[in-house]
Amino acid sequence: MDSRKLSSFHRAIIFDFDGVLADSEVLSNSVIAEIVTELGVPTNIDDAYRTYMGKRLNEVIETIARVTGRKLPDDFADHYQQRTFDAFRARLKPVAGAQGFLAAWRDVPNCIASSSSPERLALSLEVLNMTALFAGRVFSASNVPRGKPHPDIFLHAAERIGIEPADCIVIEDSAGGVMAARAAGATAIGLTAASHIKAGFDARLREAGADHVAASFAELDRIIRPLLQNPA
């Protein structure tokens, strides 16, 4: 923990999406592993986590091209996204406890700030029946100059919802996301509730600078309750 003074009263929650609200990382990284293997580089899901997770769409495509040493066809991104979307339509679920948490804190301003493409976010929210919960407040790092661990997406999201970054709590499941939230000046809470998270990952989130780490939405609720309490 550094000497940065945390706001004693926070006014908004900014959610990362994949691995925080949507239990999507196993599905999406399985698709990547299959595609890269088909392109001639044997890849398992753990390889995919290490190499591709948390990247923006264009960064994923560039990394696949580099790893495989291939010039990918012009329609590769569309093909990749379609395979991911098919998997999501068939099997995507919310992270356990996410829906109840959103219902409990529905009166607190919130938004989504994700590395995923706008198209993938829209499809995922539709599948999870969450579209109406975040209408007009879904922001993609595809639309800012730099992806995580840079702060751009969180600065953009805070500006769009009209709340200072220092007054925002960011919920993240990745070290890069935690670093981005801290760089933006927000309070960063690591969440390790999704199915792709392995034992000991909480330590990585703390090393990245997480102000708190929660293993479930129930624990997250206990952590943020005093942070969102209006002292007045």
Kindly state the average pLDDT of the residues 149-158: 98
Tell me the C-alpha distance between 53 and 47, whole Å.
10
- The predicted model gives 177-196 an average pLDDT of 97
> Mean pLDDT across the stretch 48-62?
92
In a domain, 167, yes or no: yes
Q: What average pLDDT does the segment 160-168 reach?
A: 96
Burial class (CB in 10 A: 0-12, 13-18, 19+), 103: exposed
Is there a single domain that holds both residue 140 and residue 86? no
Residue 3 has pLDDT above 50, yes or no: no
**CA angle at 49 for the pair 208 and 221, rounded to the nearest 5°:** 50
Report pLDDT for 230.
54
Whether residue 20 sits in one domain with residue 36: no
137 shares a domain with 218? yes
Locate 99 and state its tokens: 């829906």
Does the pLDDT at position 8 exceed 90? no
What is the average per-residue pLDDT within 210-220?
A: 98
Q: What is the DSSP string of 155-213?
A: HHHHHHHT--GGGEEEEESSHHHHHHHHHHT-EEEEE--STT--TTHHHHHHHHT-SEE
Q: Looking at residues 67-83, what average pLDDT do you find?
A: 96
132 and 153 together in one domain = yes
Same domain assignment for residues 126 and 218 = yes
Q: What pLDDT is attached to residue 1? A: 39
Distance, in Å, from the CA atom of 156 to the CA atom of 40, rounded to the nearest integer, reads 39
Residues 183 and 111 in one domain: yes
pLDDT at 231 over 50: no
Query: Do 40 and 29 touch, CB atoms closer than 8 A?
Result: no
Q: Is the pLDDT of residue 7 over 70?
A: no
pLDDT tens per residue, range 103-114: 999 999 999 999
Residue 171 belongs to a domain: yes
pLDDT exceeds 80 at position 170 = yes
Give the per-residue pLDDT at 232: 37
CATH of the domain at 49: 1.10.150
- For strand 212-214 and strand 12-15, is the pairing parallel, antiparallel, or unpaired? unpaired
pLDDT at 76: 97
Task: Round the average pLDDT of the chain to a whole number and report it.
Answer: 94
> Is the pLDDT score of 164 beyond 90?
yes
The pLDDT assigned to 222 comes to 97
Q: Which domain holds residue 167?
A: 12-24+93-227
Q: Specify the number of domains making up the chain.
A: 2
Q: Which of 79, 85, 77, 37 is closest to 55 using CA atoms?
A: 77
- Predicted TM-score (pTM) of the model is 0.90
